[in-house]
Structure 1
Amino acid sequence: MEPAAQAAEGRRESAEERADRRWNELLQEVRVAQTGVQILFGFLLTVVFTPRFPTLAAPERAIYVVTLCLGAAATGALIGPVAFHRFVTGRNIKPQTVVWASRLTIVGLLLLLATIISAFLLILRVALHDSAVPWIVSGLVAWFLLCWFALPAWARHRYAGDR
């Protein structure tokens, strides 16, 4: 890469160095999400063995099954980048690996969002039996969308021209 192009991007690094840096940053991010999804999924696996589970109505059982499936899918997507990297290591395709691992991470975050919302819905339905539950859940969805997607998208748009 020419020095002018490197300076415009803010770093003097080769494509390989950039891929290494981006990979390390992605791994740090995935570690946080993996830990959260694995703990949540572990708790979800135990719910069926609690004394209260047999007393749940059919809709709550359906929500539980959906939540469990979403948790499993989120776990797979968020562990996926590690497996992806392991299978392609040494093939000189790290820049492409970073792109695909990043995509898996985004899918994993979307699935984690759906898992959290679904679990929250289940818990509130059992705890409150109230018509306010959909409103509370909708508020939580809005909050997550704001924190996880809207603010980063706004910052990306707002400061993209400052480079």
Structure 2
Amino acid sequence: MNSQAVRPGETPSERADRNWNELMQELRVMQTGTQILTGFLLAVAFQPRFAELDDLQRGLYITLVLLAATATVLALTPVGLHRMLFHERRKVQLVRVADRLVKANLAVIGAVTVGVVALILDVALNRPTAIVAAALGVVVILLLWVGLPPLLRRRSGGATDEERPASSHM
């Protein structure tokens, strides 16, 4: 569903409310994944083998912890903004800003995910395998998150779910 689509009879305020609710659902999913990755990363430093990491692995680990913290802050920022501004009737502006924050957070979470896989494979197997897996991870993320949306738009001729007959919905 295209959350930006205008539904018949829907006011700008109603559309902002609908879009806000959809963003909050997306943030719930993102936050759960981020919490799991962050918890894993925080636990790594307290494992006996942590002292055995080489400088590159330790640098990657620190980078991943910082990215995971960034992802957490990005996911919480729309909630914080809403809390500070909700009495000021700024929902349209909040939706616009939250949309940008969610898109930025997708990039950060993608980087954390690829980096965690690379770190694990580097420690468990070897560096060349980790590099190949990281490169493949980046390609998969780009294909799914950047390449797939335009492909879906082209296949549907640009029509949104609301504009298509019910029989043609997936």
Runs of 5+ consecutive residues of structure 1 not aligned to the other structure: 1-7
Provide the residue aligned with 1:61 in structure 2: 58
User: 1:144 and 2:141 equivalent?
Assistant: yes
Provide the residue aligned with 2:90 in structure 1: 93
Match of 2:129 among 125, 128, 132: 132
Distance 2:120 2:99 in 1: 31
In structure 2, the CA distance between the partners of 1:130 and 1:90, relative to structure 1 (3 Å rule), is: closer
Match of 1:116 among 113, 117, 125: 113
Runs of 5+ consecutive residues of structure 2 not aligned to the other structure: 164-170
How big is the shift at 1:114?
Answer: 0.7
Distance 2:12 2:154 in 1: 24
In structure 2, the CA distance between the partners of 1:110 and 1:135, relative to structure 1 (3 Å rule), is: same
C-alpha deviations, 1:3-24, integer Å up to 9, x for none? xxxxx94432000000000000
Distance 1:158 1:96 in 2: 31
Match of 1:32 among 8, 29, 32: 29
**Which deviates further from its counterpart, 137-146 or 90-99?**
137-146
How big is the shift at 1:106?
Answer: 0.9
Provide the residue aligned with 1:75 in structure 2: 72
Distance 1:10 1:99 in 2: 18
User: 1:23 and 2:20 equivalent?
Assistant: yes
Aligned identity (percent) is 41
Match of 2:45 among 40, 44, 48: 48
Match of 2:102 among 97, 100, 105: 105
C-alpha deviations, 1:37-94, integer Å up to 9, x for none? 0111111111111111001111110110011111111111011111111111011110
Distance 1:11 1:25 in 2: 18
Distance 1:36 1:23 in 2: 20
In structure 2, the CA distance between the partners of 1:19 and 1:109, relative to structure 1 (3 Å rule), is: same
Q: Letter of the aligned partner of 1:34 in structure 2?
A: Q
Distance 1:160 1:91 in 2: 39
| TM-score normalised over the length of structure 2 | 0.85
Provide the residue aligned with 1:5 in structure 2: none
Provide the residue aligned with 1:4 in structure 2: none
How big is the shift at 1:131?
Answer: 2.3
User: 1:13 and 2:10 equivalent?
Assistant: yes
- Per the alignment, in what secondary structure is the counterpart of residue 89 of structure 1? helix
How big is the shift at 1:128?
Answer: 1.2
C-alpha deviations, 1:94-129, integer Å up to 9, x for none? 001000011111111111111111111111111111
Q: Letter of the aligned partner of 1:116 in structure 2?
A: T
- Per the alignment, in what secondary structure is the counterpart of residue 147 of structure 2? helix
